[in-house]
A and B are shown apart, each in its own frame.
Chain A
Amino acid sequence: DTAVSQTPKYLVTQMGNDKSIKCEQNLGHDTMYWYKQDSKKFLKIMFSYNNKELIINETVPNRFSPKSPDKAHLNLHINSLELGDSAVYFCASSLSAGEVETQYFGPGTRLLVL
């Protein structure tokens, strides 16, 4: 009965590799997000999709590419990984992108680039 799930939970990889993180929500929400939380604990929005359409695309290197095959899934592909990409990546979803909607977070993916 997991609401927002992410895989993998841990990801350790070498610089230069390409990796993907998957996210799925079973809440019937229309809007999904990717956040990066660095060592200083700031949550930074990276992308947001509403009904498979990209609505927020912050200043993120184009090595990061989100893909939403349907509104229940939002995957994140990262090319040519760099040391600075090491962080915790959280997926979240909300009923819509509107004013009062609460965001529900997945458990996070801890990425370590060596």
Chain B
Amino acid sequence: GQNIDQPTEMTATEGAIVQINCTYQTSGFNGLFWYQQHAGEAPTFLSYNVLDGLEEKGRFSSFLSRSKGYSYLLLKELQMKDSASYLCAAKDSNYQLIWGAGTKLIIKP
């Protein structure tokens, strides 16, 4: 079956760095997405990886290892507004997105 695993909840301190891990098992692979979802709001796109390596976008970076079925989202210089759920999703061979349940990130002052 197809599966996405990520931690349910993480806590970090304002100004610090946090890494959210995601492992995936899909029938075929056509890229890995990270979305941010604030409570009561819609998911919004953060990053996309299809090749191995690190993609950096400001305070956020995303890493992919296709051989390990593994990705992480790295958030630097954490701000209170980064408190949200972070959803990992992988595209399978049919280009269908398979979603994880999300990691709720709590930022403390």
Q: Which positions in A face B, CB cutoff 8 Å?
A: 40-45, 48, 56, 90, 97-100, 102-108
Q: Which residues of B contact A (CB under 8 A)?
A: 30-31, 33, 41-45, 48, 50, 85, 87, 89, 91, 94-97, 99, 101-102
**DSSP majority for the A interface?**
loop
Q: Give which listed residue, B33, B50, B96, B101, contacts A102 with CB less than 8 A.
A: B33
Interchain nearest-CB distance for A107 vs B (Å) = 5
Asked if A98 and B95 make an inter-chain contact with CB atoms under 8 angstroms apart, the answer reads: yes
Across-interface contacts of A43 in B (CB, < 8 A): 43, 87, 89, 99
What are 30 residue pairs bridging A and B, where the CB atoms are less than 8 Å apart in the complex?
A40-B101, A41-B85, A41-B101, A41-B102, A42-B101, A43-B99, A44-B99, A45-B96, A45-B97, A56-B94, A56-B96, A90-B42, A97-B95, A98-B95, A99-B30, A99-B31, A99-B50, A99-B91, A99-B95, A100-B31, A100-B48, A100-B50, A102-B33, A103-B45, A103-B97, A105-B42, A105-B43, A107-B41, A107-B42, A108-B42
Contacting residues, chain A, for B31 (C-beta < 8 A): 99-100
A45 CA / B95 CA spacing, docked (Å): 12
Shortest Cβ distance from residue A65 to the other chain B in the assembled complex, whole angstroms: 20
Q: Closest CB of chain A to B70's CB: distance in Å? A: 20
What is the distance, in angstroms, from A91's C-beta to the closest C-beta of chain B?
9
Count of A-B contacts judged by CB separation below 8 Å:
42
Within the complex, what minimum Cβ distance (angstroms) separates B44 from chain A?
7
B43 touches A102 (CB 8 A): no
Q: Determine if B50 and A105 form an interchain contact, defined as CB atoms under 8 angstroms apart.
A: no
| Residue of A with least CB distance to B85 | A41
Q: A41-B101, A104-B45, A105-B42 are in contact. List 12 more A-B contacts (CB 8 A).
A: A41-B85, A42-B99, A42-B101, A45-B97, A56-B94, A98-B95, A99-B30, A99-B91, A99-B95, A103-B45, A105-B43, A105-B44
- In Å, the complex CA distance between A40 and B97 comes to 18
Q: Determine the distance from Cα of A105 to Cα of B101 in the docked complex, in whole angstroms.
A: 17
